Amino acid sequence: MATAMTETLTAAEPVDLLAKFDPIIQTREQLLAAGVEDPFNLVMEQVLSPPRAICNGRDTILLGTYNYMGMTFDPDVIAAGQAAMQDFGAGTTGSRVLNGTFRDHRDVETALREFYAMDHAMVFSTGYQANLGIISTLAGKGDYIILDIDSHASIWDGCAMGNAEVVPFKHNDVEALEKRLKRVPEGAGKLVVLEGVYSMMGDVAPLKEMVRISKAHGAMVLVDEAHSMGFIGEHGRGVAEDQGVIDDVDFIIGTFSKSVGTVGGFCVSNHPKFEVLRLVCRPYVFTAALPPSVMASSATSIRKLMHGGNKRAHLWENSRTLHGGLRALGFQLGTETPQSAIIAVIMPDLEKGAMMWEALLKEGLYVNLARPPATPAGMTLLRCSLCAEHSAEQVQTILGMFERAGKAIGIV
């Protein structure tokens, strides 16, 4: 019997679980065989300032970091982190609900409540986990999640992790949202999930109408403001604030890895029962809390962002100059007008996009190469995100680099 078992085991043909990724391996090999530097394997050997680094051996202007407000090198932010690391150690080694809540975890949640003028704030280890945890926990079996088709991967994964019915609607289409809200069976819980700024094209959502319609149909509303915190809206609270509907939004999701300049994610809310989520949200409970240094740096950064009016104005100036300049050069852009600090340059195809990306890198400019499935409608994009620390001269330098690279590759 034992012999027979062994024979069966050795005779079985092993199934390579990685074989399903062969098409991706091939695409990547073809790209690299064409001589292109690997767009997904860039190394920052030295970071000189928020918008400047030595990348793959070259002095490079960074135009694809989401470091919108340039807080990564703010002296106060660094000092706060250094002090906390000195006093509280390098890490927490524990969950927020066990031994992982330190003084600065509480303080960063206080800073968020102040920043958003809301009653509750809950900090996660990343923005991805904030969406994953909040969405999967809020919407359970029998509930409906109604979301924009161009939602970020973390939102989709939050949907996939829960048991709710998932109903997407066409990007930024108010009427499509309303139709779906009307068709949800009576009595079912409804969560509408929207983003303030969509990160691929840099376009803003019509939150004013969408939030109003969602509320009229008895839905709760969650808005991901990852790409707007710190510079959109009067207090930098995001697109919902800018469009005057923040009081009707039930949950705002955000991240520390963009304007705040550190790492971490959060949810803020005025819901009176919000605190229970700390006990039932698995991506909050079953992971280690962020290091105290990250919390102290984040709290300092958030409080400084409350008074960042001048930097904000300069960031908008940069966005307008780059958008207008690229258009004048003949590039096709994701939005007609500059709506955020993201400007998406649409490439004819992946091959041209990769060539353009490399040409820019050789000029000394880093942008994000974005391609399907992350992009809508199968597009290849060169995604530029501006920083308040880019000088006006740097933006002109960037335009010159785009012009030379675009002509060399034959895109303009």
Partner 1 sequence: MTPADVDAKIRTLIEPFNKKGVAIEDATTFAGDLEFDSLTVMDFVAEIEDEFDVIISMNQQAEIENWGQLVAAVHKLQDS
User: Does residue 152 belong to the site contacting partner 1 (CB under 8 A)?
Assistant: no
Among 378, 396, 410, 412, binds partner 1 (CB under 8 A): 378
Centroid of chain to Cα 77: 21
Nearer to partner 1, 31 or 177 (CB): 177
Residues paired with 245 in a beta bridge: none
* Interface segment toward partner 1; rule CB under 8 A; list 115-123, 160-168, 323-331, 360-368: 160-168
Hey, which bits of 119-219 come out as E strands?
Answer: 120-124, 144-148, 165-169, 190-195, 197-198, 203-204
* Interface segment toward partner 1; rule CB under 8 A; list 25-33, 169-177, 238-246, 397-405: 169-177
Integer Cα distance of 305 and 113 in angstroms: 13
Cis ω for the linkage preceding 373 (within 30 of 0): yes
Question: In the window 111-150, what residues touch partner 1 (CB under 8 A)?
Answer: 144, 149
Among 44, 161, 176, 374, binds partner 1 (CB under 8 A): 176
Give the nearest distance from C-beta 224 to partner 1 in angstroms: 19
User: Does residue 370 belong to the site contacting partner 1 (CB under 8 A)?
Assistant: no
Nearer to partner 1, 170 or 282 (CB): 170
Give the nearest distance from C-beta 128 to partner 1 in angstroms: 20
User: Does residue 198 belong to the site contacting partner 1 (CB under 8 A)?
Assistant: no
Among 94, 168, 189, 348, binds partner 1 (CB under 8 A): 168
Q: Among 160, 168, 266, 272, which residue's Cα sits nearest to residue 223?
A: 266
* Interface segment toward partner 1; rule CB under 8 A; list 109-117, 173-181, 360-368, 394-402: 173-181
Give the nearest distance from C-beta 157 to partner 1 in angstroms: 13
Integer Cα distance of 61 and 344 in angstroms: 17
Looking at the chain, how many residues does it have?
Answer: 412
The two structure tokens encoding residue 72: 């990564």
Integer Cα distance of 165 and 400 in angstroms: 49
Among 96, 120, 180, 258, binds partner 1 (CB under 8 A): 180
The two structure tokens encoding residue 44: 């920052």
Among 47, 54, 85, 166, binds partner 1 (CB under 8 A): 166
Cβ(154)–Cβ(123) below 8 Å: no
Nearer to partner 1, 106 or 170 (CB): 170
Residues paired with 147 in a beta bridge: 168, 193
User: Does residue 165 belong to the site contacting partner 1 (CB under 8 A)?
Assistant: yes
Integer Cα distance of 58 and 359 in angstroms: 13
User: How many residues touch partner 1 (CB under 8 A)?
Assistant: 17
Nearer to partner 1, 213 or 367 (CB): 213
Q: Which helix (H) or strand (E) holds 281?
A: none
Give the nearest distance from C-beta 253 to partner 1 in angstroms: 21
Nearer to partner 1, 168 or 364 (CB): 168
Side chain identity at residue 192, one-letter code: V
Among 34, 117, 328, 377, binds partner 1 (CB under 8 A): 377
Q: Phi, psi (5° rounding) for residue 401?
A: -65, -45
Side-chain half-sphere exposure of 135, counting CA atoms within 13 A: 32
Integer Cα distance of 61 and 74 in angstroms: 18
Question: In the window 52-111, what residues touch partner 1 (CB under 8 A)?
Answer: none
Question: Which residues of this chain interact with partner 1, rule CB under 8 A?
Answer: 144, 149, 159, 165-170, 176, 179-180, 183-184, 376-378
